[in-house]
């Protein structure tokens, strides 16, 4: 199946998200692009890493001209860590996953009740120091379930108990909350636009809220989940009185352990699709103009991918421009009907080349390069001399 226009080398856009545990988005893009050019050296290949607001968001926007910055912050367990942000002109992107994650490998090192987002607020403060007018908060990958209160404390907010003292950091401390005092917030917040880039639409509370859905993934057992849910419920009630904001059931309020809630309630933030925001920042729509083929994908394609993940959002853009799309993924659980409905004309899985999952992850770079060559061999890309 030849996608090149008659007499013109193929123009192919390679826009991949990360292959989690294996490659960053930019590394995955380079591997596929290099494979294509190995077999079709005259093809025009445009490399565009993408993301959906989670870890890897900074990696994606740096390729589009943003400057990467590393900021020393307080990690979710109180340990020193490095948060990533990207800066270009009057806009900054803060990656919550780097400031409040990742999940420690050992369960002994996890503290689902005490994990907090103080480092997220420290990273936001560093972005404010750059003099930006808009901050995009990439909400995926938080280790905490504190409703974003740690973030707000770093920005000057106070969360007080009945004695007027700051409650402990972390989700469990919310049970002691009596009053929210925002009078000391950094004044620069009032003149800064905040955009919440999320890949989930979960509310703060209830059966689909962040405690019940995501806290178990962060090491919380059933008892801890109940404590976190009760704490978040207390936070929502006090916030409604002291800040005049009732946003606990808003779509995305539960993103990043409730950082979405804090952004909506305290920062006047706008909630948006993480994938769409990142695709806008990297300029994928304009990049696709005149393209013959879009190659997109990530480590895993599944039913959750259909609800706002970056490859599906990228495919939707290509479909609007009548550009065929091929997905390149580590593995896919989509059936043919789902894949076609998502806009994928074909799906190439690394597990189809290397069925051993461990080897598939450790050798992902070579396998992606092989897929790039296979796309040429299968006729998706054919370079011609003009």
Q: What is the mean pLDDT of residues 70-92?
A: 95
- What integer pLDDT is reported at residue 7 of this predicted model? 43
Q: What is the mean pLDDT of residues 267-273?
A: 96
Q: What is the mean pLDDT of residues 321-350?
A: 96
Q: What is the mean pLDDT of residues 363-379?
A: 96
Buried b (16+ CB within 10 A) or exposed e, 292-324: bbbbbbbbbbeeebeebbbbbbbbebbeeeebb
CATH code for the part of the protein at 57-275: 3.90.1510.10
The answer to whether residue 104 scores a pLDDT higher than 80 is: no
Structure tokens at 347: 């799906």
- Strand 134-138 relative to strand 91-95, pairing: parallel
- What integer pLDDT is reported at residue 102 of this predicted model? 67
The answer to whether residue 4 scores a pLDDT higher than 60 is: no
Running DSSP on this structure, what letter comes out for residue 217? G
Share of the chain above pLDDT 90, in %: 88
The answer to whether residue 317 scores a pLDDT higher than 70 is: yes
- What integer pLDDT is reported at residue 385 of this predicted model? 46
- What integer pLDDT is reported at residue 383 of this predicted model? 61
The answer to whether residue 254 scores a pLDDT higher than 60 is: yes
- What integer pLDDT is reported at residue 262 of this predicted model? 98
Q: What is the mean pLDDT of residues 353-380?
A: 95
More confident site: 280 or 199 = 280
The answer to whether residue 1 scores a pLDDT higher than 60 is: no
The answer to whether residue 346 scores a pLDDT higher than 60 is: yes
Where is average pLDDT lowest: 84-88, 105-109, 199-203, 312-316?
Answer: 105-109
Sign of CA dihedral 77, 81, 84, 89: positive
Q: What is the mean pLDDT of residues 372-376?
A: 96
Asked if residues 367 and 353 have their Cβ atoms less than 8 Å apart, the reply is yes
List, for residues 185-194, the tens digit of each pLDDT value. 999 999 999 9
Domains of the chain, residue spans:
11-48+283-377, 57-275
What are 266's strand-pairing partners?
A: none
More confident site: 21 or 288 = 288
How far, in Å, are 111, 301, 361 from residue 367 at the CA level?
A: 37, 17, 9
How far, in Å, are 82, 172, 192, 285, 308 from residue 321 at the CA level?
A: 40, 49, 34, 9, 19
Asked if residues 4 and 384 have their Cβ atoms less than 8 Å apart, the reply is yes
- What integer pLDDT is reported at residue 72 of this predicted model? 96
Query: The domain 11-48+283-377 is classified under which CATH number: 2.40.50.100, 3.40.30.10, 3.40.50.10350, 3.40.1280.10?
Result: 3.40.50.10350
**How many other β-carbons are positioned within 10 Å of the β-carbon of residue 36?**
27
Asked if residues 112 and 224 have their Cβ atoms less than 8 Å apart, the reply is yes
Q: What is the mean pLDDT of residues 143-168?
A: 98
Q: How confident is the model at residue 63 (pLDDT cuts 50, 70, 90)?
A: confident
Q: What is the mean pLDDT of residues 276-289?
A: 96
- Mean residue pLDDT of the chain comes to 93
Q: Helix (H, G, I), strand (E, B), or coil: what is residue 327? A: strand
The answer to whether residue 320 scores a pLDDT higher than 50 is: yes
List, for residues 107-138, the tens digit of each pLDDT value. 667 899 999 999 999 999 999 999 999 999 99
- What integer pLDDT is reported at residue 5 of this predicted model? 47
Query: Any residues with CB less than 8 A from the CB of 10 and at least 6 apart, and which?
Result: 3, 4, 40, 43, 44, 292, 293, 381, 382, 383, 384
- What integer pLDDT is reported at residue 308 of this predicted model? 78
Q: What is the mean pLDDT of residues 34-51?
A: 95
Running DSSP on this structure, what letter comes out for residue 253? T
- What integer pLDDT is reported at residue 384 of this predicted model? 53
Helix-strand-coil split of the chain, %, nearest 5: 40, 20, 40
Closest by CA position to 292, among listed 328, 329, 321:
321
Q: What is the mean pLDDT of residues 15-29?
A: 94
Q: How confident is the model at residue 2 (pLDDT cuts 50, 70, 90)?
A: very low
- What integer pLDDT is reported at residue 306 of this predicted model? 87
- What integer pLDDT is reported at residue 110 of this predicted model? 80
pTM as predicted? 0.91
List, for residues 296-305, the tens digit of each pLDDT value. 999 999 988 8
């Amino acid at each position: 199946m030849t996608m090149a226009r008659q007499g013109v080398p193929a123009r192919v856009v390679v826009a991949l998200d990360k292959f989690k545990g294996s490659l960053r988005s930019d590394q995955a893009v380079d591997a596929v692009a290099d494979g294509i050019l190995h077999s079709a050296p005259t093809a025009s290949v445009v490399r565009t890493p993408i993301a959906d607001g989670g870890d890897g968001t900074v990696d994606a926007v740096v390729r589009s001209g943003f400057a990467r910055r590393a900021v020393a912050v307080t990690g979710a367990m109180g340990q020193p860590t490095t948060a990533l942000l990207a800066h270009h002109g009057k806009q900054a992107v803060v990656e919550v996953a780097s400031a409040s994650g990742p999940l420690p490998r050992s369960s002994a090192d996890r503290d689902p009740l005490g994990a907090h987002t103080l480092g997220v607020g420290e990273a936001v403060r560093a972005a404010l120091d750059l003099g930006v007018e808009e901050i995009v908060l990439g909400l995926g990958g938080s280790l905490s379930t504190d409703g974003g209160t740690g973030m707000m404390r770093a920005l000057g907010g106070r969360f007080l108990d009945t004695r007027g003292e700051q409650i402990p950091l972390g989700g469990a401390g919310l049970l002691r909350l009596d009053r929210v005092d925002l009078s000391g917030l950094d004044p620069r917040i009032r003149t800064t636009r905040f955009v919440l880039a999320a890949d989930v639409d979960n509310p703060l509370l209830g059966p689909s809220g962040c405690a019940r859905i995501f806290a178990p993934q962060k090491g919380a057992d059933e008892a801890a989940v109940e404590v976190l849910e009760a704490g978040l419920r207390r936070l929502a009630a006090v916030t409604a009185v002291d800040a005049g904001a009732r946003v606990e059931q808003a779509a995305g309020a539960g993103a990043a352990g409730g950082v979405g809630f804090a952004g909506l309630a305290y920062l006047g933030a706008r909630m948006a699709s993480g994938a769409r925001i990142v695709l806008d920042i990297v300029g994928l729509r304009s990049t696709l103009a005149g393209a013959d083929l879009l190659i997109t994908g990530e480590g895993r394609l599944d039913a959750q991918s259909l609800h706002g993940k970056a490859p599906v959002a990228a495919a939707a853009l290509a479909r609007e421009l009548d550009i065929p799309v091929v997905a390149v993924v580590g593995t896919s659980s989509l059936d043919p009907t789902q894949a076609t409905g998502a806009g994928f004309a074909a799906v190439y899985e690394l597990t189809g080349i290397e069925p051993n999952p461990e080897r598939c992850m450790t050798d992902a770079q070579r396998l992606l390069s092989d897929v790039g060559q296979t796309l040429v061999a299968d006729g998706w890309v054919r370079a011609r001399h003009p």
